[in-house]
Structure 1
């Protein structure tokens, strides 16, 4: 019975993984390795203040988020669970690629650390922003209120909520345009995200995409060893070149949680484990049961749920811990 691992996106600005780090020698070893690859002390990755500067803060936050997701994966592997299919959103797509064996961990975390050197916005650059839009089910066939606005872009689709009453999508663009749209809309329909100053998954990230492209061209991608689902369109990434292209497009192209979980459904996934806190618990509809995993208790719950569903155990490390 297939088991799917789903890695969320986002940036870990809040402290993450402290309980797992303190409880597990395996996690402490992992964080020391990540520290060696990135130059960030393990304590800073866990709970330290993120650096100043837009790209520096983004880089450290992605390292924090990816470290927790990989730690959860390793603890599940230690308990005997390993995924049959993986996918992720944004940063999670890159982490999932490593879990699938398409990129070694050292290369992934080294790349995340080097993004701190990406050029920040110039003095005349517009302020960027992000928002969540809540689209009522009865309005799903109508043009969205941001349609035709050149300064606002669809950045992500998280799909319907549990009761099906609305769909949650993510917007990116000029901050003033997003705030104006929110002011014109019904209360709660458009919610600007405080502190989100980078318009990820939109054309405004083209300079970052150009910056990272030469490094991606040199990174040692390989064909995934287990099914790896794309978050940029419905389908599976099967070759090294396809994985590299996903990394290249990720900064500027919109992402879709729906594409991932529908892809998992096509693989007959019967249980999804969500790595870390980036995907909110209990809000979104999934076509199969999911367990959100970010604590020791969650590890135990994931193991017991898998056992109850008759999902097989590997009896130890899943074999996806290449450095």
Structure 2
């Protein structure tokens, strides 16, 4: 395989994402019209609604806006330029959207699920406050050993190498008091606790989300993807509908790993990655293959140029965009 689509997680939402492409391309306008019909949320709200204080990403319009932007970009690349991927992958929330791009999940089913996420009940009153924290550690640090004696703090995401390559960035999820206490055992200022994300994503503390979604996921249809979906949880290509269902089930509670995701794409012979939609683009620049960020109309032209400059062979026949 040659060309892969890569999607970032759900912490990069910005109001207005996708609006420029919407103004230019009828295919994107149709994408948003469909999403508005499925969700009951007007297009203008999808673009511009702000997250309310105390509201998690999954409970607002942010997840819907981010998924819509990705699908709109994929539709432009396919409809206008005939560019489709031979593989897809996504980090965290992006994994769900990538499975949709691969045709394993119908678009309407994805947005029905995202609307269901808006109904996840809040923890009972008096429950300990949750949080996410960022930490840079030496690259060869054993995170399991680092957290072995730390209660209520979990590895949520390993974002891979940063800086000169001697360190890597990890996200930790846990109770806020436990994270604050853990921070006191580290050099001053080493642990940065986010004030914007109050849920310990990809940790056992989100089991209530998995339990809430379980009946919906049991009822959903998951098809074998038309192209491999490279997991963000282990170094593996997912090729069956049941593997995709398992990905959806584990997404709230299991840690994600950029190195494993990129490594799986490298194992498959990826020669160019297009990072679609809102993203912390630097997260994926450690890949051995070149990556191009595609979010604006200018980016679309850059992606088209890269595909032809690198001599990427596009899949023949059926359009591989869900």
Q: TM-score when scaled to structure 2?
A: 0.92
Q: Offset of 1:7 from its aligned partner? A: 0.9
- The answer to whether residue 99 in structure 2 is matched with residue 106 in structure 1 is no
CA contact (8 A) 2:7 2:91 kept: yes
- The answer to whether residue 81 in structure 2 is matched with residue 74 in structure 1 is no
* Counterparts of 1:115 and 1:24, CA distance in 2: 29
**Matching residue of 1:119:** 121
For 1:1-323, list aligned pairs within 5 A.
2-11=2-11, 13-15=13-15, 16-51=17-52, 54=55, 58-78=59-79, 79-137=81-139, 140-141=141-142, 145-161=146-162, 163-281=164-282, 284-313=285-314, 318-321=319-322
Encode CA deviations 1:91-149: one digit per residue, 9 max, x unaligned. Answer: 11110101111011000011101111111111111111001111123x62587644321
Structure 2 unaligned spans of 5+: none
Q: Offset of 1:150 from its aligned partner? A: 1.6
CA contact (8 A) 2:233 2:261 kept: no
* Counterparts of 2:299 and 2:188, CA distance in 1: 35
* Counterparts of 2:43 and 2:235, CA distance in 1: 36
Q: Offset of 1:229 from its aligned partner? A: 1.0
- Match of 1:126, SS? coil
Q: Offset of 1:283 from its aligned partner? A: 7.5
* Counterparts of 1:267 and 1:121, CA distance in 2: 41
Encode CA deviations 1:211-255: one digit per residue, 9 max, x unaligned. Answer: 000000011110111111111111111211111111011100001
CA contact (8 A) 1:55 1:120 kept: no
Q: Offset of 1:179 from its aligned partner? A: 2.5
- Match of 2:273, SS? strand
CA contact (8 A) 2:10 2:57 kept: no
- Match of 2:14, SS? coil
- Match of 2:127, SS? coil
Bigger Cα displacement from structure 2, 41-50 vs 255-264: 41-50
* Counterparts of 1:281 and 1:162, CA distance in 2: 10
Q: CA 1:316–1:18 in structure 2 vs 1: closer, same or farther (change >3 Å)?
A: farther
Q: Offset of 1:176 from its aligned partner? A: 1.9
CA contact (8 A) 1:160 1:284 kept: no
- Match of 2:65, SS? helix
